[in-house]
Structure 1
Amino acid sequence: MRLQARKLLTLMAGLLASPALWAEWAVNMPEGVTDLSRSIYDLHMTIFWICVVIGIVVFGVMFWSVIFHRKSRGAKASEFHESTLVEILWTSIPFAILVVMAIPATKTLIEVYDTKEADIDIKVTGYQWKWQYEYLGEDVSFFSNLTTPREEINNQRPKNKDYLLEVDEPLVVPIGKKIRFLVTGADVIHSWWVPELAVKKDAIPGFINESWAKINEPGIYRGQCAELCGKDHGFMPIVVDARPMDEYQKWLDEKRAEAAKVRELTQKDWTMDELMEKGEQVYTKLCAACHQPNGMGLPPMFPALKDAPIAVERSQIGKHIDVLLYGVKGTAMQAFKEQLNEVDMAAVITYERNAWGNNTGEVVTPKDILEYKKNGAYTGKYVEAK
């Protein structure tokens, strides 16, 4: 027993002495990198110290009374009733304290909700389990997905310092500009939260909530969905990349060029190998978490695609496209019409029809996807592999 106690004490001492443990020790909110976050931090500290003073006074009087006015010292309790002075004191003092606290709180709240005269408007849409960012008026829109390797999630290799906080496409913004975030949801309630920007807004389907930030320092700022939005709630990170204005403008031009290139690729004649290579990338990023890397799924919630009629029968190609575009109501299968472009859709469908032994030899091209969006039907015109 003594040996076990000694081992336990040694372990606790080692943990307390660990620099890594103390590096993570934080009991206060971050000061942040925006004017708004610092205003909130200052308000927090003001209220905190007011509460500290109140606590010292209240507990000081209480302990002083216990020590110096106890029965063993012969103290006798005073008896008084309906004292006008006492009534006035214990009403006016708390009221005065609340007024003192309300003045800075009101000032900060007005600042928090002042979203007018923004330099940049970004629409943030929450999906299970990813974020869509649309730069209004700039013709730039993209999705941001988790990129933490599945091996780390499944404890098959050590976790890195940014575990579950890595994405393929960060939200890039300029420093020194007022950015208004228009936050909404596409399926369930999410919450867009970046502590160092002092932004936390619920993303509610059918509603648009506003928030704003003006970042003073370039850098990478990370956050997460702060609402329980489903089984992969913890796999929905946010990464904000704040850059100087010239670097931001360069990035914006590159994103516009990428969008133009995708539009060109839609008209390209794709080969089976090209579609399979791209389709595997899309499937691994967006589909493998539910349908599994081997296509076996997790029935009954996530059906298998391997040997499934929808993925092997030629007569169901149209249904395959429809399910990817519009999802399946009442199930976990969401609509990808706004999440994937025509190239990615065609590639992932082609991959699903030819991977894991399905081997249909059928190719679905971006032209097929465009035709289905336009007419709601699949003609099979481009089905032959090249």
Structure 2
Amino acid sequence: MLMKGWLSRLAAGTGLVMASFGAWAYTQTSGGYNMPTGVTEISHAVHKVHMAAFWTCVAIAVVVFGAMTWSIINHRRSKHPKAADFHESVKVEILWTIAPFVILISLAVPAAGTLIRMEDTRGSDMTVKVTGYQWKWQYEYLGENVSYFSTLTAESNAARQLHSGVDVTKVENYLVDVDNPLVLPVGKKIRFLITANDVIHAWWVPELAVKKDAIPGYVNEIWTKIEQPGTYRGVCAELCGRDHGFMPIVVKAVSEDEYKAFIAAKKGGTAVAAAAPVASDAAPAAEPAPAAAPAPAAVEVAAADTKAAAPAPAAKEEGKDELMKKGEAVYKANCAACHQANGTGLPPNFPSLVNSKVANGPADAHVTQILKGKNLMPPFPQLSDEDVAAVATYERLSWGNKGSVVQPAQVAALRK
């Protein structure tokens, strides 16, 4: 029985070894089981350090478990019934003190060098400011007066809703696609200034080996230099609230000429279409709650125009019933996560809209707060004039509020 048990364990161990060799062949492409090699000089260096640490651990495991296995087999009771009675060995103790020290130093030196290079943003060709919101990203090309928001695509957003009836396997790039990707040129050293508007986020794109916390009131720096054109996807890597998993990152690396054309189009107003509503985003309107003054930023950032590309204004007037119906849908998709479906909010951070001074006050102030945000509430310039008018109307006439109807033309005028 003992022999059969030993043989079964040996067979299982052999199977694991063979499986590991199969996996090894796959990891050479970095296609899923391993850290990606990436498309930047830093990502290649990070991958090299990672693999050095991995194979060092494999070698240590082989020696340790090999010695254990050999001892178990050759010093079992049936073969050596009398246990050895030797004691300490100074030479062995010196060896197992020096060996880990040498191993750690050999890993620490290249790792430290790579970390230092990752933080060295000197000599950058351009700077992009990245701001995290619940639950979207804002990108500002400093010095170019170009700024826009990037949110989950309408297709993924619709498919992810409870009882949507949509087969998510048919949605292309489900939950990892956005309406407005970050467009960057290849072959340029790009400096990122990363911060947040509300809570802590983290901007992470594995293929670029870029991962940095986005902290309100603080600016972190990191850089990249993309070597190959392509589309590279990432996610928010810091739990930031209910819809943390629905604020993907998409970086589109293009040639210098394509990048210049993109910037020119943004400046000319022919930018990518505005985002569709993202479900459970921070609320469009909220009675302001006091916010603490932000801590000094780590890096002084040059002023940049933060206006997002506005959707084209709508001319026609809409009836109250139509606005209320559309407004309810926009509210559920963008506001209910913070202000709740019944408008009672989650005070003090997300004030109640029931009998709210904002919802019952001047319509212009209400719309302005939706477009520009306030305190913990992010701005919503990516919503169309119709959507802003609808959600403002819905908030102003629901839950016993006695505000007025808001028309798209009013929103268009205030957006200017």
**Is TM-score (shorter-chain normalized) higher than 0.5?**
yes
How far residue 229 of structure 1 moved from its aligned partner, in angstroms, is: 0.5
Aligned counterpart, 2:315? 271
Q: CA deviation at 1:324?
A: 2.4
Aligned runs of 1:120-159 on 2, under 5 Å?
Answer: 120-149=126-155, 150-154=157-161, 155-159=164-168
Instruction: Give a deviation string over 1:135-178, Cα, whole Å, max 9, x none.
Output: 11111111111114343112421112411112111100001111
Worse-matched range after superposition: 348-357 or 218-227: 348-357
Question: Counterparts in 2 of 1:161-172, with a 5 A limit?
Answer: 161-172=172-183
**CA distance in 1: counterparts of 2:368 and 2:235, whole angstroms:** 31
Unmatched 5+ residue regions in structure 1?
A: 1-21, 371-386
Query: 1:320·1:349 contact (CA, 8 Å) conserved in 2?
Result: no
Go from structure 1 to structure 2 and tell me whether the alpha carbon gap of 1:195 and 1:85 turns closer, same or farther (over 3 Å shift): same
Question: Equivalences for 1:55-94 in 2 at 5 Å?
Answer: 55-74=61-80, 76-81=83-88, 83-94=89-100
- Report whether the alignment pairs 1:360 with 2:405: yes
Closer/same/farther in 2, CA of residues 305 and 162 from structure 1, 3 Å limit: farther
| Contact 1:147 1:167 (8 Å CA) reproduced | yes
How do 1:126-275 residues align onto structure 2 when only pairs under 5 Å count? 126-149=132-155, 150-154=157-161, 155-159=164-168, 160-258=171-269, 271-273=315-317
State the alpha-carbon separation in 2 of the partners of residues 269 and 67 from structure 1. Answer: 80
TM-score, length basis structure 1: 0.73
The whole-number CA distance in structure 2 between the counterparts of 1:357 and 1:206 is 32
Q: Does 1:334 align with 2:380?
A: no
Q: Kindly tell me: are residues 136 and 296 of structure 1, through their superposed partners in 2, closer, same or farther at Cα, counting changes over 3 Å?
A: closer
What's the RMSD between the two structures over aligned residues? Answer: 4.0
Aligned to 2:39: 33
Q: What displacement does 1:223 show?
A: 0.8
1:341-384 deviation per Cα after TM superposition (whole angstroms, max 9, x unaligned): 8xx686554334557996837552544466xxxxxxxxxxxxxx
Whether 1:301 aligns to 2:360 is: no
Distance 1:308 1:110 in 2: 51
CA contact (8 A) 1:296 1:306 kept: no
User: What is the CA-CA distance between 1:76 and the residue it aligns to?
Assistant: 3.0
SS at match of 1:216: coil
What is the distance in 1 between the residues matched to 2:327 and 2:252?
A: 26
The residue that corresponds to 1:351 in the other structure is: 390
Choose which of 111, 116, 128 in structure 2 pairs with 1:105. Answer: 111
Deviates more, 1:299-308 or 1:71-80: 299-308
The amino acid of 1:41's aligned partner reads H
TM-score, normalised with respect to structure 2: 0.68
1:99-136 deviation digits (Å, cap 9, x = unpaired): 22222212222222222111111000001111000111
Residue type of the partner of 2:84?
A: A
Please list every run of 5 or more consecutive structure 2 residues that lacks an aligned counterpart in the other structure: 1-25, 275-306, 398-403
Identity of aligned residues (%): 43
Counterparts of 2:358 and 2:116 in 1: how far apart (Å)? Answer: 54
Higher-helix-fraction structure? 1
Cα deviations by residue, 1:236-268 (Å, 9 ceiling, x for unpaired)? 0111010011111111111111189x99x99x9
Residue 269 of structure 2 aligns to a residue whose secondary structure is: helix
SS in 1 for 2:116: helix
